[in-house]
Chain A
């Protein structure tokens, strides 16, 4: 794959017009992430559904390269309304996609990843790997925050 192929239309589209690119007031989870080595910075916001089981809304802000921005933008469109567990496994599948070739990956992961596969080419650019995964690492941490919050809510529920 050539570099130009890496910067496909869909990546340039999401980098140029990132989706859900706005700060969230009173999020249920907020994670600031940065790659100090290259200067990518982003903040990921999550809102959980009322029952605490699903991700209702995801937004992000920040200043980052095209690969990082596109990856974050795609993330926000993909995990909207997903059950928390599914968002987690999607993150796992995405990060796996960047490590191992498609033919070796778990069955069904291609369907699950869908248009996230446009970022598969990053695998050939080891120096850019962190750009593609930054938002997903932020998601992993945000999910932990959601779960902790959920756990405390549950505790309140059983008390009642």
Chain B
């Protein structure tokens, strides 16, 4: 998949682009069902990073020599590419270390603008720890209060009536995940952001699970800010994107101090550079931005709508297969209640998730087991942990079949069949 020409979608063909998928673990071919934790990387991404280090490596924005100019151009091109990917302008794109750093940046800068004693930060019960803990830290500092839109355990969806009630009570900051990494729930981010706007709240969308899996357009969603991680969307680790609406981003105070984020420094004080550079103190992750650029090219060549449909197809099959076993609990929306993204959490009867994951690994299947960085939600669902299979465009029906075989073996081993 080196060209941008549309080709008919074939997971089998796309797999060929991913060197890491072509291996055996524990003597059996790898079945990688942990893309919600991190996706595998296509050859074009890996090569773009090699090419950068072999040809253009230099510090950006500082030198006037040829290499520095090339590196700067590549880095800024990546920013432009990210802007196009999310339907934004280049000056609205800040490169971060990932979604977690994006939330931390926002929590620590917005607190000076909109938080204070008794102000409300509205989150949901299905947030990843990275969209809870930074808010708890600034709430403690500012005296702000955190409220959560409840999850309906049976459907895995947000309680929208309760959401409206909470917005009506006054909200300063609203931060919410687009897709739950645990439940696979796709949240109605457009309506939620509209309600936030009506309530006069700043809205933030955590697109860590969605950016690489479907079209994510910031103007369509209507959010003020959006964060994501490159490594979950075929890009390298350690790079992410923060989108901030033009004037809102410009208005935020700087977060970390250092080179690049300043315009003038004297011994007495400094003045700040403009956004987005104001938020990129120090030498940035140039290779990361370049790798992410290649990843976005790759995803668009595959087709983001095709990816969404393929995820949905596999997750539907997987839910069918899992529910055919007696006593298996599946979390998150079922077909009638709402859209289920390519993530399925499940619990086998009387078998702890860690045993499921260890045994599945012996069958060559990479699953995730645990609380998925969502301890309070696990408590609410009444399970200590779940096993999770997550799908991407390089997974096939054969992978679902491998999961079925593995679950059957595990159930037999524990005398549940």
By a CB distance below 8 angstroms, the chain B residues around A6 are 358
By a CB distance below 8 angstroms, the chain A residues around B34 are none
From B355, B361, B371, B378, contact of A65 by CB (8 A): B355
Compute how far the CA of A125 lies from the CA of B371 in the bound complex, rounded to whole angstroms: 20
Compute how far the CA of A38 lies from the CA of B355 in the bound complex, rounded to whole angstroms: 10
Q: Do B385 and A38 touch across chains, with their CB atoms under 8 A apart?
A: yes
By a CB distance below 8 angstroms, the chain A residues around B351 are 66
Q: Check: A128 CB closer than 8 A to any chain B CB.
A: yes
Q: Do A16 and B414 touch across chains, with their CB atoms under 8 A apart?
A: yes
- Residues of B360-387 at the interface with A, using a CB-CB cut-off of 8 Å, are 361-362, 369-371, 375, 378, 383-385
Min Cβ gap B406→A in Å is 11
Q: Do A40 and B354 touch across chains, with their CB atoms under 8 A apart?
A: yes
Interface 1/0 per residue, A4-33 and B, CB below 8 Å: 101100001000100000000000000000
Min Cβ gap B7→A in Å is 39
| Ranked 10 nearest A-B pairs via Cβ | A39-B384, A3-B362, A39-B385, A65-B352, A65-B354, A66-B355, A65-B355, A38-B354, A63-B384, A38-B370
By a CB distance below 8 angstroms, the chain B residues around A40 are 352, 354, 384
Name the residue of chain B whose CB is nearest to the CB of A66. B355
Min Cβ gap A158→B in Å is 46
Compute how far the CA of A66 lies from the CA of B384 in the bound complex, rounded to whole angstroms: 14
Compute how far the CA of A1 lies from the CA of B2 in the bound complex, rounded to whole angstroms: 42
Min Cβ gap B401→A in Å is 20
Min Cβ gap B413→A in Å is 7
Q: Check: B353 CB closer than 8 A to any chain A CB.
A: yes
Most buried by A among B26, B370, B371, B385: B385
Compute how far the CA of A39 lies from the CA of B387 in the bound complex, rounded to whole angstroms: 12
From B358, B361, B370, contact of A39 by CB (8 A): B370
From B378, B385, B415, contact of A16 by CB (8 A): B415
Q: Check: A37 CB closer than 8 A to any chain B CB.
A: yes
Q: Check: A135 CB closer than 8 A to any chain B CB.
A: no
By a CB distance below 8 angstroms, the chain B residues around A12 are 413-414
Q: Do B354 and A128 touch across chains, with their CB atoms under 8 A apart?
A: yes
Which bucket holds chain B's interface residue count?
20 to 34
27 A-B pairs within 8 Å (CB atoms) are namely A3-B26, A3-B358, A3-B359, A3-B361, A3-B362, A4-B362, A6-B358, A12-B413, A12-B414, A16-B414, A36-B375, A37-B370, A37-B371, A38-B385, A39-B353, A39-B354, A39-B385, A63-B352, A63-B384, A64-B352, A65-B352, A65-B353, A65-B355, A66-B351, A67-B355, A128-B358, A131-B354
Most buried by A among B352, B362, B415: B352
Q: Check: A152 CB closer than 8 A to any chain B CB.
A: no
By a CB distance below 8 angstroms, the chain A residues around B370 are 37-39
Name the residue of chain A whose CB is nearest to the CB of B27. A2
By a CB distance below 8 angstroms, the chain A residues around B26 are 2-3
By a CB distance below 8 angstroms, the chain B residues around A125 are 358
Q: Given A65-B352, A67-B355, A41–B384 Cβ distance below 8 Å? A: yes
By a CB distance below 8 angstroms, the chain A residues around B369 are 38
Min Cβ gap A71→B in Å is 13
Q: Do A2 and B352 touch across chains, with their CB atoms under 8 A apart?
A: no
Compute how far the CA of A119 lies from the CA of B225 in the bound complex, rounded to whole angstroms: 50
